[in-house]
Amino acid sequence: MHYGRVRSDLQQAERTISMALRSNIVSETEKRALEEALNLVQEAAEKCRLAQAESVRKIFSQGMSHSEGR
């Protein structure tokens, strides 16, 4: 998976939503929707980070088990 690209896109989405929240928001409904979207993007970024860490751990573990078999 392209974790770097996904993380970059999520960071851009977070910046865009944060800027929208700082702008003149028309309604409370719009504000709540943006806050919810921001929370979802932040959750997705954390899940991506965890998935990347797990992927690296598995690759490292596989590499270690292959080198032990030599």
Quick: pLDDT tens for 23-61.
987 799 999 999 999 999 999 999 999 999 998 898 888
pTM of the full predicted structure? 0.77
d(CA 21, CA 33): 10
Q: In terms of Cα–Cα distance, which of 29, 3, 68 is closest to 60?
A: 68
| Length of the chain as a residue count | 70
- Res. 68 pLDDT band, cuts 50 70 90: low
How many structural domains is the chain composed of? Answer: 1
**27: containing domain:** 3-68
d(CA 62, CA 9): 29
d(CA 70, CA 67): 6
- Type of residue at 25: I
- Res. 12 pLDDT band, cuts 50 70 90: very high
